[in-house]
A and B are shown apart, each in its own frame.
Chain A
Amino acid sequence: MIKVKRKPFQEIVEAIQRYPTVLSVGCGGCASVCLGGGQKEVRLLNEELREYFLQQGQEKQFTEYTVERACNMDYVRELDELVPKKTVVLVMACAAGTQLIAERFPDTPVFPSVNTVAIGVDRDIGLYEERCRACGDCVVGYSGGICPITRCAKGLFNGPCGGTNQGMCEVDDAIPCAWQEIYERLKRQDRLQDVMKIRPPMEWRNQIQRTVVQAGYEERYMQEE
């Protein structure tokens, strides 16, 4: 799932400095699951902000609301009544959710109060590791289920660089070399031949905005000529 992390407090403070009425919006989806922006986190952020501005001698009004999915307009609509009464909206959802809220309310400034960090796995409560960068052309099939884009510091496609050292990365001794791990896993599965073929460079499709239409739904969304 998508992992988010709260922005530095001062950055959030600066974003809302000039606005008297603040609406903090949480997301009940991924942001809740990774403890970055659910109902609880929204309440805590509002309490901290309220306290901070009171100490600064500024009285601001803080309101909180958590939608089930900030990336779905059916749920974002729930804010229709609330947003026009506020001067600024803080969103604790991924950047996609934040943008959908900003799209829905173009007259109101919308600021993210979290950074969208990764698509990752849950190692423990509050501990997450990045595993995917959504490149749009998955290669883990040939790389033994280990993503060279995410795990290799250089994002190499065809084996390790000269910096691999005793199974660790030259960037940091504590970081395992992704290509060493790929090699070990493929060897274990007796399919080292999978990495013997030279792979062409990635066609970086995420340089342009992508739209996903699932198989079977093409006709529904086909544009009329």
Chain B
Amino acid sequence: MSNKNINSTIKMRGKNVDVFYGDKQALFGVDLDIEKNQVTSLIGPSGCGKSTFLRCLNRMNDTIDICKVKGEITLDGQNIYDKDIDVVELRARVGMVFQKPNPFPKSIYENVAYGPKIHGMANSKEELDKIVLKSLKRAGLFDEVKDRLDDAGTSLSGGQQQRLCIARAIATRPEILLMDEPCSALDPIATAIIEELIDELREKFTIVIVTHSMQQAARVSQKTAFFHLGKLIEEGATEEIFTNPINKKTQDYIMGRIG
């Protein structure tokens, strides 16, 4: 665990990241820092590579055979693509919430308990119960489901399901939470609840969120990175990007102008 820079505010860093799907290149030399305890949002038009970059951060791209990742991505200073990095351990440290809520077809309790169980985080049922309770409370879901923890996870509404997925992701006490368009399938109220949740979670976690909604990125993040056609065009403080972007491409995108 050398090169671990404890005092740095940078949690994850991508250096010159190239991603290929077979012969097609999806990301071109991306350099991006993710700050600790901040929400970083990745914005850009469809197919610009923001989801691809996000999935590199917890090596979900490994599941796609033809995907190749070049360059360096470090977590606390250590390259996550090193040979001696256990991808299972990585994914316990870097959690993910997906676009469409995908709770396991199990009970609510089981959904949240699964991660801690397989990572051996609890030695007894009481400890497991505590972890589940805490995660559900943190995700703001506990009050709504405390009487029916044995009901199926799929019996909840869309917004509740997404919060369940968030609870599930944070149950393994990850350091970073990756969110891939988490609200795109939800109504505005549920979206607002989750945005509030993101704000609260920021205290303990580092969050990276991919979003199609610039308004959401503007509301929720402190740092914004704009991707276009596989390149990182501009990154900076959210306020700056949305009031006074430097790059014309960025400006055109956020103002809704054609090319």
Query: Are A and B physically bound partners?
Result: no
| A binding-site residues for B, Cβ under 8 Å | none
